[in-house]
Structure 1
Amino acid sequence: MRDLPEVIADILASRGAMVEKAGEDGLDVIASPELVNLLGVPEYHRLSFTGENEGKDDLYASYDSDYFRSLERLFTDAGRWASVSLETPALGPERIAEALADHLPLV
C-alpha cells in the first residue's frame, strides 16, 4: 500500500508539477500554472506530512488538511462519464401488426 506523500506526488506530477522528496516527511513542489490557479498555492511550496511545520511557509498536507481537500478541484472534470445503451428486442412484422390491431381499432 502506498503512503499519502507518494499518492499526492503522483497526482501533482500528473498535472505538470515537479515533485521531490524533502527529508523524511516532506515534498518540495514546483507547481505548474494550472496547479497554482486551481489549488491557490505558490509556484514553489513544501508539503509537510508530520503536522509540525519545519518552515513557516510549509503547507500541511494530511487527510484532514485544506491542501488535501483542495486536490478535489483537480478531478471535477474527470470520472463523471456515463453511457446508456438500450437494446430493443427484434420483433417480427407480424407481431407488430398483431400488437397494433389489439390496441388500435381499425375502421
Structure 2
Amino acid sequence: MEAARLDFQQLRIKHILYKSKVRSFLYGGTFDASFFSSAGPIDIWFSTVGKIRYAQEPEILQLIRLHQQMNEIALNLYKLYSKGLIEQAHDGLKEVDFRSDQFIQILSGLDERLQKV
C-alpha cells in the first residue's frame, strides 16, 4: 500500500497549504477565489484520486464533509474580513484549526489502517 501512503501524503500537504491560505488572506494576503472553489487542489484530489481509489473507505466521505465545512467557514471568514470585521474573522480561525485537527486525525487513521492491510 505504498501508493496509498503517497496519495495521503499529497492530501496532507494540500490540506496544510489550504490552512495556510486561509491564514494568509486573514492577515492581509490576497484571497484566491479559485483555490476555495470546487476547482481547488483538495477538491480536485478528492474527485481524481480519493473518490476513485478509496471510494470504499468510509473515512473518505468524512474527509470530504470536513473539507466542505472548512471551506464554508473559510468563505464566511473572508466575508467578515472584507466587511472590516477583522477580529471576528481572526477568532474564526479557532474553528478552522479544530476542523483541521479532525481532518488530519482521520487521514492519519486511514493511512495507518491501510498500511496494516
Superposition TM-score, scaled by structure 1 size: 0.32
Point out the structure with the larger strand share: 1
Superposition TM-score, scaled by structure 2 size: 0.30
Higher relative contact order (CA 8 A, sep 6+): 2
Point out the structure with the larger helix share: 2
In our comparison, the structure showing a higher alpha carbon Rg is: 1
